[in-house]
A = this chain, B = another copy of it.
Amino acid sequence: MSAIVSLVGAGPGDPELLTIKAVNRLQRADIVFHDALISEGTLSLVKRGRLVHVGKRASRDSTSQEHIHELLIAAAEKYRYIVRLKGGDPFVFGRGGEEMLALQEANVAYEIIPGISSAIAAPALAGIPVTHRGISSAFLVVSGHCPDVYQPLLQDVSPHSATVVVLMGGSHRRNISKIMIERGWNRSTPVALLSAASTEESTVWTGNLEALALEAHSPETPVTLVIGEVVALANIHEFQKEAVHAR
Contacts and interface: CB of A to CB of B under 8 A. Distances in A.
A112 B141 contact: no
B129 A91 contact: yes
B120 A89 contact: yes
Contacts of A245: 2, 109
A193 interface: no
How many monomers of this protein are in the complex? 2
Interface in A1-43: 2, 4, 11, 14-21, 23-24
19 contacts: A2-B245, A16-B21, A18-B20, A19-B20, A20-B20, A89-B121, A89-B124, A93-B137, A97-B132, A97-B133, A111-B242, A137-B142, A137-B143, A138-B140, A140-B140, A140-B162, A153-B158, A153-B161, A153-B162
A2 B246 CA distance: 8
A228 to B, nearest CB: 12
A157 to B, nearest CB: 5
